[in-house]
Structure 1
Amino acid sequence: MTDLAQYIPAHRAKLRYIKDRLATVSITAGGTGVLLAILLIFFYLLYEVLPLFGSAEVEPGVQHDWAGEAPALLYVEEQGEVGLSVSAGGEAQFFRVEDASVISRRDLAAGHAPVTVIARDSAEGRLLALGHGDGEVTLARHDYRVTYPDDGRLITPSLNRLYADQVLRLGSGAVRALAVSDSNNGLLLVADLDGAGLRGLRYNREENFLTGEVTLEEEVLQLPSLAGQTAALYLGAGQRWLYRLDRAGYVTVLDISRVGDDGVVPIVATEPLFEGGGPLATSAMLLGNISLLAASEKGELAQYFMVRDAQGGNRLNRVRSFDTDGAIATQLLPEHRRKGFLLIGRQGELQLFHTTAHRRLYAAPLGIEGAAVAAIAPRGDALVAVSGGVLGQWQVHNEHPDVSWSALWDEVWYESYDEPAYIWQSSASNNDFEPKYSFAPLAFGTLKAAFYTMLLAAPLAICGAIYTAYFMAPALRRKIKPVIELMEALPTVILGFLAGLWLAPFIEDKLTGIFTLLVFMPVGILLFAYAFSRLPLSLRSRVPTGWDAALLMPVVVLIGYLSFALNDPMELTLFGGDMRLWITRELGISFDQRNSLVVGIAMGMAVIPTIFSIAEDAIFSVPQHLSDGSLALGATPWQTLVGVVLPTASPGIFSGLMIGLGRAVGETMIVLMATGNTPIMDANIFEGMRTLSANIAVEVPEAEVDSTHYRVLFLAAFVLFLFTFVFNTIAELVRQRLRSKYGSL
C-alpha cells in the first residue's frame, strides 16, 4: 500500500509535467508561427514593392554602319524590330534594327517641290506631314502588319499617302515650320510660310448618313502676324491650342477654336519660356498633346500646359522644371504610352525623365559620337539612334517610372487640372492617360472612416462595458453579455449590404429624425434618471439592484419612435421640407447618400462587440477586494469606479480600443458597400471616402500582374501593414506603461 501510494502521486506529477511541457511547446510554437507568418507577409509585400523604386538601366547593343542618308526623323515599331528613317530631303526607308539592312525605300517628295520641313502629329502618332518649298503639304501614314507564317513573326511595313486627291496648299512661300492634327472631326494644318507668316487650314469632315460618303469642307484660319523667327509649331489636344515657339525662347499661344471680332484667331498668351532666359534649343509635345516640353541653350528644361485662371480665362502655366546637370538638349523624345521622355544632349548625353513623378531616372553618356537622331520604341524598352554613319541600339529597362515620394504623398499638378491636387485615378479609357497614384486621399479616407467609427463605437462600448461589469445584476449580465458578443459573429458583408441598401436611403429620408434622436436621446435619458431619483425611496427600492437599465428600454424606444414620427413635420417647419437640400444650399455642405455617417453607424455595429467584450472582461476581472476596500474606506461606488476600478482595468480597456481601431482601419466590405467609394479628401460627414483596404479589394482583380498599378496596390497594402503595426506597437507600449503604473493596486 505504501509503495502504491508513493507510485500514484509520482505518476501524476510526471503526467502533469508532460502536459505542462507539451502546452509550453505548443504555445511557443503557435506564437512563433504567428510571428513567422507576419514576417513572411512583410517580406512578401516588400518583395512586390521594391521594384517600384529601382533605377532605370540602359544597356547598349550592337552598332552597325548606316548606309543611307542622315535621318531627320526616326521611328521604331512596337516590337523594336523594324524602323523608319526619313531624310531631310523626304526619302523614307524601312530598315531592320538588328542589322541596319534596308527593307524598302520610297521618295515622299517625288512629284512635289523640295521638302523643307518634316513634322509628326504627336509623339505616338504615325502621321507624317511634309512641308514643301511651294507652300504645299503632303501627308503619309506608316503602318506595320504583323503576321506569323510558319510560327515565325513577320512584320510588313507600309507607307501610304493620305488625302492624295486633295491639294493641301497653305500659300506660296516655303514652309518653315509645320503642325498637323488629324481627328474624327477633321484635318487641321498650320504652317509658317516664308514671307507670309502663319497660315492655317481646317478641313471639316462631313458624312452623308445615307450613303456614308465623307467630304472635306475647307476653312481658312485667319492667324495673326507674329514677330520673331518661328522655331516650332504644335497643336494641342482637341485642336484648340496652337503653340508657336520662336528661336529667342518665347512662346505664343493661340485659341484656334474661336475668332475675335476682327475675324482673326485671338492670342491667349505671349511670354518667355525660360526663367534664366536664353534661346530655344529644342522642344516637343508630351504624350497626349497637352503638355509642352522646352529646353534652352543654357540647359534649362521645363514643362508647360494650359490652365484656367481665377477670372475664368486660360493661361500657359510653367508646371515643373527638370534638373539636366547643364546638358543642352538636341532632341526630346516623349514616350508613346507614359508621361516620360528622353533627352539626347549635345555632348552625347542620355537622360530619362518622368513628368508626373518629377524625377530623373537615368543619366549617362549615350556612347555614340556626334549629334544623334533617335527614336524610342512604343513600349519604351528600346532606343535607336543614328549619328556619324552609325546605327546604335540600346535596351531600356524602365518598368516603373511613375512612382516617387512626391507622386505618392505630395500634391501633384496633373495635366488639365487648374492647381496641384491629391488625386487617385489609376486607369482611364484613353491611351494618353496620366496615372494618378496619390496615397493621400486613401490614407485620409482610412483615417476618416476609423474616426467616425470610433466616435460612435468607443463611448457606447466603453460605457456599456462599465455598466455591465460594475453595476449590472449578475443574472442580467449573464443574458446581456452573450447577446452583444454574438453580434461579433455577424458577417461584415451582411452589415455592408444592409448599410448600402437600407440604412443609407433611410438616413437620407429621415435625416431630421436622426439629428433629433442624437439630441433628444441623451437629454431624455438624463431627464428620466433625474425624475427617477426624485421618486420616493419606497418606489425606487422596488427595483432590484442592478436592474435599473431595464427601465430605460421603454424610454429609448419611445424617444426613437417620437424622433422619427416627428421627422416630416419638423423638416417642413425648420428646413422647408428638405433638410438635405437646406444643408447644401444654406450651409454649402454637399450631401451624398452613401456617406461617412452611414459608414460610422455600420462599422460601429461591427466594432462595438469587440471593444465591449475586451473592456468588460478587463473591468470585471478587477479583484473584488480592491472595490470592497475602497468602499470600506468611505468612497462612493462612483469614486471607487473612477479611482480604483478603471485605472486597474485601463490596460485591458485600452487594448480593446486599439483592437477596435485596428478592425476599423482594416475593414473592407462595409466601406466598400456603404460609401460612394470616391477617393476624395473631405472631412464632411455627409461625403464618402475610399480607404486603402477597399481600394485594394476593388482594383487588384483588374490590375495587370507586375504592372506599376499592380505593385502600387501592393505598396498600399504595405502602407496599411505598417500603419497597423505602428499603431499596435504604440498601443502595446501604452498598455505596458499602464500595467506597470496600476499593477500594484
Structure 2
Amino acid sequence: MQKTPPVASEPESLMPQAQQRAKLRRTRKLKDRFSHWGVATAGIAVVGALGLIFFYLFSEVMPLLKGAKVTPVTQYSSTQVTEMTSPTVYQTLERYEQIGANYSESGQVQFFQVASGEPLLNVQLPAPADAEFSAMGYGTPTDALIAYGYSNGQVVVAQHVYNLSYPNDQRKITPELKYPLGAAPITLDQQGQSLTAVAIQKTARGYALVAATADNRLLLGSYTTQSNIMTGETSIRSQVYPLPALPNGATPRFAQVDAGASHVIVADNQAQLHVYDISNPQQISLTETIPTERGQTTALQFLVATGSVVMGTDSGSVSQWLLVRDSQNIYHLQHVREFESLPAAVTTIAPEYSRRGFLVGDSSGHLGIYYGTSSRTLLVKKVAKKGIAQLAISPINGRLIITDSGNHIQVVDVWNQHPEISFSSLWQKVWYEGRSQPEYIWQASSGGDTFEAKMSLIPLSVGTLKAAFFAMLFAMPLGVMGALYTAYFMTPKLRGVVKPSIEIMEALPTVILGFLAGLWLAPFLESHLPAIFSLLVFIPLIMLVVGFLWFLLPSSVRSFAPEGWEAAILVLPIILTGWLCVSLSPHIEVWFFDGSLRQWFTNHGITYDQRNALVVGIAMGFAVIPTIFSIAEDAVFNVPRHLTQGSLALGATRWQTVIGVVLPTASPGIFSAVMMGFGRAVGETMIVLMATGNSPLVNFNIFEGMRTLSANIAVELPETAVGSSHFRVLFLAALVLLTLTFIVNTCAEIIRQRLRKRYSNL
C-alpha cells in the first residue's frame, strides 16, 4: 500500500514575508476605507455647501413673499385727545410716529401724543363767520396741505409742520400749523354757493384748488405766492377759472387735481369718472368720460406723484386708474388693476408717502392694505367694530392710526416692508405710471423721492441668455473644431505648442479682456463694421481655396510639409486676408453704404450701440474658448487607438473615422466641454459689465447691448441699502442665476451619462 507523502511545510524564511503581505493588505484595506469615507465626506460636504448657499439666498429672498400684518398697540377715545365732539375729517401722523393730528369739522386741529392720546397743541382754523363746514380736501401726504370748504364758497388752506430741535441732545418735535395762502379765508366761488367737494395740490407754479359747488359747477383756482426778500412780505396772486359742466346733469361728488396742474379727475353720482385738461387754464376741456362699472364712487385719491388714482366704491371694490398719453398727446384714464374687494362700502383711502401703496377702510370696520405697481392685496382684516372713518399712516409706513365712526382711535404697528415685489412685477409685463402700455423694465433707482421702482427680472434673464448665446456662437465652433483637429490631425510636436498656448489663455484676467473689449474692440468694430462681415465670409473661403490649391500641388512639393503641419500653411493667408478686409473696410462703406454702415443700419431701422452683443460675443468667446478646447481636446485625444486604427484598417478615411468613431466616442466629453463653457458664459461678470453698456433690453439684436444677472448684481449690490426690497431682489437674481446653472449642469450630466452609456460598447 502506497503512502501519501507528507506535505512540505512552509519554510521558516517565508514566514516574515507572509506576515508582511498580510500587514500590507490590512494597511491597503485601511487606506481604501479611509479614502472611501474621505471621498464620500467631501462629496457630501460639497452638496451641503451648495445646499447652504441655496438656503442663505432663499432666507434673504423669503421676506419678499410675506404680506402685511398689523399689531395693536393701544386705543383710546377721541375725547381723550380733544374736548371737541365734532367728527374727525382728517388725520395725520409724523415720521417719528410720536405725534398725530386730528382735523375736526369745526376747524379745530388737535396735536396729540400717539402713545397715550395726551393733547399737545390745540389750534383753531380761521373759519369764515356765519359759514358752516361743507367739504374737506387734501393733497399728497408729503405736502401736508389741507383745504376746508365752507357753505359760503370760501376755502381755508392749512399746512401742518413738525419742527425738530435737539436741546440737551434729545430730539424734540414741535408741531405747528401754517397758512401758505394766508390765514384769511379765500373766496373761491364769487357766487357764494356751498362747496360740496374740494381738492388741493401744490404745483411747480404755486397751488391749485378745485371745488364743486352746490349748483353742480366746477371751479379751478390758481394761486401763486411771491416773497419780498427785503420786507419779508408775501403777496398772493389768484385766478379762478370755470370748468365745463358734467354731461347729463351729473353731480360731482369727488375731485382730484394732479401735481402738474394738468388734469382734474372728477367722480359723479352716476358712477362715472371725468377727466379735464387744465394745462391751459384759458382753454379747459373735458377730454373723457368713463363709466366705472363698479358702483358709485365713495372715495377717490391720487397716489404719490399723482400719476395714478385709486377709486373705492359702495360695493367695496378697489381699483387703480392711470393717466395714459396717446399718440395725439392726449391723456386718458386707463383702468389697469383691480384689487381684492372689501366686504362693505369703501369709506376712506390713505396713500403712502413715498410708495405706490395705499390703505383702505370700509363701513364695516375692515382694513385693506394694497400696493399698486405689484398689484398686491397685502391684507384684508377687520380691525374695528364700527366703520372706519379715517386712516393715518406714518411716512415710514411703520405705524397706523385708525379712527372709526364712533370716534374711537386705535394705534397699530404695521409690518409691510416689501409690498412692491410680486410674481407679476418680476416676471410679467407691468403697466407703470407714465408708460403707454405694459412693459418689461429694470430701473431700480432714481434721484427722485417719488420714483416708481421697476424691477422686472425678464430683461436681466434675457440679457444673460443673450450674452451666453452669442459667446457660445463664437466659441463653440472654434473650440470644438480646434480641439478635434489638434487631438487627431496635428503632429505631436505642434500639438505640444498649440495646446499649452491655448490653455494659458484661460489664465488671462477677465477684467483685462473686458477692459480691452470696451475701450479698444468696441470702437474698432464700430469703425470697421464691413471688415467684420467680410472676415466671416472670406476667412472660411480662403481656407478652402488654400486647401484646394495645396491639393493640386505635386506630391514632391507637398512633401516639404509633413503630415500634421498643414495648419501652419494657413497662418499667413489668414493674416493677409484679415489685413486686406480691414484695409478695404472704409472703401466698402463708401461704395455700398453711403460712407457709413452704422448710419445705413439706422436709416433701415436697425439700432446699433457701440457696446453690443457682437463685442461681447467676441470678447467672452475668447475667454470661453480655452475651457471648451481643453476639455474637448482631452476627450478626443483619449479615444482608444484601437478604435481609430480598426476603422482605418477597414478602409475608412480619416474624416470618416472622425465622424463615425471619434466623435461618437468623445461626445460625452465634448458635450461636457460645451456645457462647462456655457456655464462660464452665463456666470461671467467683468466682460459683460465693461463691454455691453449695461442696457436692460429685451431683444436678441446682435447690435444692441444687454444687462446680465451677474453684472447687475455686481453693479447695484454695493450701492443698495441692506434689507431693502432692491437688496433682496438682487439676492433673488443671484438665486435665479444659481438655479439656472444648477438646472443646466444637471441636465448636461444626465445627457452626458446617456451618451456615455450609448457609446460605451464601441
Corresponding position: 1:264 with 2:288: no
Contact 2:613 2:704 in 1 (8 A): yes
CA-CA distance at 1:539 after TM superposition:
1.7
In 2, the alpha carbon distance for the partners of 1:551 and 1:327 equals: 86
Q: What is the deviation of 1:116?
A: 2.2
**What do residues 579-610 of structure 1 show as CA deviations (whole Å, max 9, x unaligned)?**
00101112x01111000001111100110000
TM-score by length of 2: 0.93
| Cα offset, 1:105, TM superposition | 0.9
Please name the residue that 2:518 is paired with.
500
Could you list the per-position Cα deviations for residues 301-338 of structure 1 after superposition, in whole angstroms to 9, with x for gaps in the alignment? 21112112244432211111112154321111211122
Q: TM-score, normalised by structure 1?
A: 0.95
Query: 1:267-666 maps to which residues of 2 (within 5 A)?
Result: 267-272=286-291, 274-276=292-294, 278-324=295-341, 326-387=343-404, 388-586=406-604, 588-666=605-683
The 5-angstrom pairing of residues 117-196 of structure 1 reads 117-150=135-168, 152-164=170-182, 168-171=186-189, 172-195=192-215
Aligned equivalents of 1:507, 1:335: Cα separation in 2? 50
In the TM superposition, what whole-angstrom CA distance separates every residue of 1:682-741 from its partner, at most 9, and x where no partner exists?
A: 211111010111111111111111111111111111111111111111001000000100
Q: CA shift at 1:3, angstroms?
A: 5.6
For residues 85 and 206 of structure 1, what CA distance do their matches in structure 2 show? 30
Q: 1:241 aligns with which of 258, 263, 267?
A: 263
Given that 2:356 and 2:372 are in contact with CA atoms closer than 8 Å, whether structure 1 keeps it comes out as yes
Q: Does 1:251 align with 2:279?
A: no
Q: Would the aligned equivalents of 2:128 and 2:154 in 1 still touch at CA under 8 Å?
A: no
Cα drift, residue 418 of structure 1: 0.2
Provide the secondary structure at the position in 1 that maps to 2:306.
Answer: coil
* Residues 326 and 165 of structure 1, relative CA distance in 2, 3 Å threshold: closer
Q: Does the CA contact (< 8 Å) of 1:89 and 1:109 recur in 2?
A: no
Name the aligned partner's letter for residue 126 of structure 1: A
Contact residue 258 and residue 306 of structure 2 kept, 8 A: yes
Counterpart-to-counterpart distance in 1, 2:67 and 2:156:
42
CA distance in 1, matches of 2:53, 2:237: 63
User: 1:275 Cα shift?
Assistant: 2.4
The separation in 1 between residues aligned to 2:293 and 2:154, in whole angstroms, is 37
CA distance in 2, matches of 1:285, 1:49: 31
| Residues 219-247 of structure 1, C-alpha deviations (whole Å, 9 max, x = no match) | 44342222322111111131111111112
CA positional deviation for 1:114:
3.4
Give the Cα separation in 2 of the matches to 1:683 and 1:214.
58
Q: In structure 2, what is the equivalent of residue 79 of structure 1?
A: 96
1:716 aligns to 2:733 (yes or no):
yes
**Other structure's SS at 1:513 match:** helix
Q: Cα distance 1:211–1:656, how it changes in 2: closer, same or farther (>3 A)?
A: farther
SS in 1 for 2:602: helix
Specify the SS of the correspondent of 1:680. coil
Distance 1:206 1:123, change over 3 A: closer
> Residues 101 and 560 (structure 1 numbering): CA distance in 2 closer, same or farther, change over 3 Å?
same
Structure exhibiting the larger radius of gyration computed from Cα positions = 2
SS at match of 2:563: coil
Q: Determine the C-alpha separation between the residues in 2 that align with 1:114 and 1:275.
A: 34
Is the contact made by 2:273 and 2:290 (CA closer than 8 Å) also made in structure 1? yes
Q: Who is 2:707 aligned against?
A: 690
Give, in whole Å, the separation in 2 of the partners of 1:60 and 1:543.
Answer: 90
1:425 Cα offset (Å): 1.1
Q: Distance in 2 between matches of 1:214 and 1:553?
A: 83
> Structure 2 vs 1, CA of residues 140 and 313 (structure 1 numbering), >3 Å: closer, same or farther?
closer
The 10-residue stretch of structure 1 (656-665 or 340-349) with the greater mean CA deviation from structure 2: 340-349
What amino acid is the match of 2:103? V
Q: Which moved more, 1:611-620 or 1:422-431?
A: 422-431
Preserved CA contact (<8 Å) 1:249 1:279? yes
2:63 is aligned with 1:46: no
Q: 1:389 to 1:251 in 2, by over 3 A?
A: closer
Q: Following TM superposition, by how much is the alpha carbon of 1:406 offset from its aligned partner in structure 2, in angstroms?
A: 0.7
Which of 221, 225, 231 matches 1:201? 221
Seen in structure 2, the aligned counterparts of structure 1 residues 313 and 118 have a Cα distance that, compared at 3 Å, is closer
* Counterparts of 2:671 and 2:228, CA distance in 1: 74
Please say if residues 234 and 242 of structure 1, whose CA atoms lie closer than 8 Å, have aligned partners that are also in contact: yes
Report deviation, 1:136. Answer: 2.4
CA shift digits 1:595-628 (9 cap, x unpaired): 0001111100110000000000000001100101
Alignment-derived partner of residue 46 in structure 2: 34
- Describe the superposition over 1:177-209 as per-residue Cα deviations: whole angstroms up to 9, x where unpaired: 222222342222222233471222223456899
**Alpha-carbon separation, structure 1, partners of 2:326 and 2:202:** 29
Kindly state the Cα deviation for residue 173 of structure 1 after the two structures are TM-superposed: 2.2
Taking the aligned partners of 2:232 and 2:502, their CA distance within structure 1 comes to 70
Aligned residue-pair number: 739
Distance change (3 Å), C-alpha of 1:82 and 1:495: same
CA-CA distance at 1:135 after TM superposition:
2.2
CA contact (8 A) 1:140 1:161 kept: yes
Deviates more, 1:429-438 or 1:209-218: 209-218
Note the residue ranges of structure 1 that are not aligned, 5 or more in a row: none
Residue 5 of structure 1 and its aligned partner are, at CA, apart by 5.2
Q: What residue number does 2:7 align with?
A: none
Contact 2:226–2:236, Cα closer than 8 Å, also in 1: yes
State whether residues 60 and 731 of structure 2, in contact with CA within 8 Å, keep that contact through their aligned partners in structure 1.
Answer: yes
Superposition deviation, residue 661 in structure 1: 0.4
Amino acid at match of 2:352: E
- Shift in CA distance, 146/743, structure 1 to aligned 2, threshold 3 Å: same
2:274 is aligned with what amino acid? T
Mean Cα deviation higher: 399-408 or 323-332? 323-332
Distance in 1 of aligned mates of 2:379 and 2:15: 86
Report the CA distance between 1:4 and its aligned residue. 6.1
Give the secondary-structure state (helix, strand or coil) at the position aligned to 1:62. Answer: strand
Aligned 8 A contact 2:127 2:156 in 1? no
Could you report, residue by residue, the CA deviation over 1:403-433 in whole angstroms, capped at 9, with x for unpaired residues? 1111110001111100000011111112222
Measure the CA separation in 2 of the matches of 1:533 and 1:240: 79
What SS does the aligned partner of 1:718 have?
A: helix
More displaced 10-residue stretch of structure 1: 225-234 or 642-651: 225-234
Tell me how large the CA RMSD over aligned residues is. Answer: 2.2
Q: What is the one-letter code of the residue matched to 1:375?
A: A
Secondary structure at the counterpart of residue 162 of structure 1:
coil
Q: Indicate the SS of the match to 1:422.
A: coil
How far 1:370 sits from its partner (Å)? 3.7
* Matching residue of 1:65: 77
Residue 231 (structure 1) aligned with residue 253 (structure 2): yes
8 Å contact kept, 1:223–1:264? no
Work out the CA distance in 2 between the residues paired with 1:414 and 1:370: 33
The alpha-carbon deviation at position 13 of structure 1 amounts to 5.3
Rate the CA distance shift 1:210–1:105 in 2: closer, same or farther, 3 A. Answer: closer
Q: Distance in 2 between matches of 1:428 and 1:718?
A: 25
